[in-house]
């Protein structure tokens, strides 16, 4: 299971990477593996939407289950990975690179303090 050291994680299996106040958000390798083959991604937000941590970002459906993806941080949506609408399997193939979901201009970087680092997320996954 891949758990990149440079990301933050939340217990609902989303990851976030902050660069210059922009959060790139996706689902973890653990999440995509648990879901199995992803067959559908539907976004619950649009570009320019103001969102809060915990708001629904998308629904990801697989051959096994459907999962709600939630925002780990608050801010303004600046980009949505529309590639996933036509090619949802990218989430399985590249959850940390090509399979990102949404980019957000973060409004409160202190929210990152509520997230786990890679060792803590790894320990959390081992408990499940």
The total number of residues shown for the chain amounts to 128
Tokens of 82: 């529309």
Domains and CATH numbers, the chain: 8-107 (2.40.50.100)
Q: Indicate whether this model's pTM tops 0.85.
A: yes
pLDDT digits (tens, 9 = 90+) for 41-77: 999 999 999 999 999 999 999 998 899 999 999 999 9
**Range of weakest confidence among 62-66, 82-86, 88-92:** 62-66
Read off the pLDDT band of 1 (50, 70, 90).
confident
User: Whole-angstrom Cα distance, residue 127 to residue 25?
Assistant: 23
**Number of other CB atoms surrounding residue 2 within 10 Å:** 11
C-alpha distances out from residue 78 to 11, 36, 46, 55, 106, Å: 24, 29, 9, 16, 10
């Amino acid at each position: 299971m891949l758990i990149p050291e440079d990301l933050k994680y939340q217990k609902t299996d989303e990851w976030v990477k902050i660069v210059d106040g922009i959060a790139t958000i996706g689902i973890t390798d653990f999440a995509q593996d648990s879901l199995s083959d992803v067959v559908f991604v539907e976004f619950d937000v649009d570009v320019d939407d103001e969102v809060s941590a915990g708001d629904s970002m998308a629904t990801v459906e697989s051959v096994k289950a459907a999962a709600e993806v939630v925002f780990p941080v608050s801010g303004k949506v600046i980009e949505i990975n529309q590639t996933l609408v036509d090619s949802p399997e990218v989430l399985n193939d590249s959850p940390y690179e090509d399979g990102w979901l949404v980019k957000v201009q973060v409004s409160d970087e202190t929210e990152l303090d509520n997230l786990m680092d890679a060792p803590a997320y790894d320990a959390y996954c081992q408990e499940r």
